[in-house]
Structure 1
Amino acid sequence: LLAERGMRGLTHRAVDETAGLPQGSTSNLARTRQALLELAVRRLADREERVLALHEMPDPRAGLDSLVDALALATHRALTLNRELTLARYELALEATRRPELRAHFDAAGARFRERLGGLVTELGSPDPERHVLSLVAWADGLMFSCVAGSFHAEVPGLQDVRSGLREILGGMLGA
């Protein structure tokens, strides 16, 4: 719904209709707009976690190239097969800038991803994992935003191009 209709299209009624549920079902679970948005953030994070499969990342001892391959595949999936999830995340991110009560839920969901990336870059020998995670997330989010909603929306890079970009950024960070 978020990808198709935007933030205004995410209503209790629309969720019921889309899910084929009796009217009022969503309202019973999430009584307020805020509760509906929090539920959307949790659901989106769960779905993105499965798509990105950060829990299945290779052991960093396998080397930088193995990690680059896995991260490139996850990023490319977000740009292609799961483009709607990426667009929905940006809709929720923008809404969180205007709703401090949603911001906390959005940030907590994102922390799951940042913590895992922090562990990976630490194990690869990063001298400054926090800064490197920020740079890595900024690069990936910038690429995804540009290719899903921005000026490159019609030019999704191929898997090899994503891999090359990640190799450059991680190699530069880690001096590899």
Structure 2
Amino acid sequence: MTAARTATGRSRAELITDTALTLLVERGMRGLTHRAVDELAGLPQGSTSNYARTRQALLEATVRRLAEREAQVLALEEMPSPSAGLDGLIDALSLVLHRHLTQHRALLVARYELGLEATRRPELREFYDAAGRHRFREPLNALMAAAGSTEPERHALSLVAWCEGLMFSCAAGAYHSSVPGREELRTGFAELLRGMLGSRPGE
């Protein structure tokens, strides 16, 4: 059975979890309650509780929706093939990161809220890590292997750490008011990836 769609084209579940993400950004973890989701989403009281009975269930659903939305932004499945060389990969990664920083910074803030909460809730930690492993870690490992890495997991970790540090600095840290341009990001990716992978013949 197809889920009923709202006036915006989203399912009721998407409306609830998107609203939960908005609340995390605007009010923090303490502001995320079933009642607050109902009120902000314009839903009848009890709608969110009917969808996610417990706070844990609501958090898990929100983590799942966050992973879906970030996967859409990152679009790792659309990364260029190895035949495009490092330049093609560098161009694609700089475009994706710039898009994330300039158009989807709220998703980053929501992720930080959920990540911190996961450090206090072991049951959420397991779910949070599993969502990230399936959506991001495994595809990045494959991406680095395709780029010629002989240690794809280690190189993927270095790539993630560099991106995460930059994203936190620009979304919630000291550089929140000075997001780097795409060319600056491209230079950073080039330095990082060429340092890890080197240049293949013809590049």
Counterpart for residue 52 of structure 2: 30
| Counterpart for residue 196 of structure 2 | 173
User: Tell me, which stretches of 5 or more residues in structure 1 are unaligned?
Assistant: none
Q: Is the 8 A contact 1:147 1:156 kept in 2?
A: yes
Can you list the C-alpha shifts for 1:69-108, whole angstroms capped at 9, x where unaligned? 1111111112110000011011111111111100111111
Q: What 5-or-longer segments of structure 2 have no aligned partner?
A: 1-22
Q: Does 1:11 align with 2:46?
A: no
Q: What is the alpha-carbon distance in structure 2 between the residues aligned to residue 148 and residue 46 of structure 1?
A: 20
Equivalent residue for 2:167, pick from 131, 144, 155: 144
- State the AA in 1 paired with 2:83: R
CA shift for structure 1 position 61? 2.0
Q: Which amino acid aligns with 2:101?
A: L
8 Å contact kept, 1:61–1:124: no
CA-to-aligned-CA distance 1:10-65 (integer Å, 9 cap, x gap): 11112112222111101011111111110110000001111111111111221111
2:24 aligns with: 2
- Identity, in percent, stands at 69
* SS of residue paired to 2:53: coil
State the 4+ residue runs in structure 1 displaced beyond 2 angstroms.
none
Structure-2 separation of matches of 1:59 and 1:45: 24
The whole-number CA distance in structure 2 between the counterparts of 1:103 and 1:47 is 19
What is the CA–CA distance in structure 1 between the aligned matches of 2:110 and 2:146, rounded to whole Å?
Answer: 31
- Could you tell me how far apart the structure 1 residues matched to 2:106 and 2:82 are? 30
- Residue 93 of structure 1 is aligned with which of 115, 118, 126? 115
Name the TM-score, length of structure 2 as normaliser.
0.84
Q: 1:62 maps to what in 2?
A: 84
Provide the C-alpha distance between the structure 1 equivalents of 2:48 and 2:124, rounded to a whole number of angstroms. 18
Aligned-partner residue type, residue 65 of structure 1: D
**Which residue does the alignment assign to 1:84?**
106
- Of stretches 38-47 and 62-71 in structure 1, the one that deviates more from structure 2 is 62-71
Corresponding residue number in structure 2 for 1:133: 156
Specify which of 160, 164, 171 is matched with residue 183 of structure 2. Answer: 160
Offset from partner CA, 1:122-155 (integer Å, 9 cap, x none): 0111011111011000000000001101111111
Q: CA deviation at 1:6?
A: 1.0
Letter aligned with residue 65 of structure 2? R
Q: How much has 1:5 moved relative to structure 2?
A: 1.1
The correspondence for 1:106, drawn from 128, 131, 134, is 128
In 1: Cα distance, 2:38 partner to 2:100 partner: 26
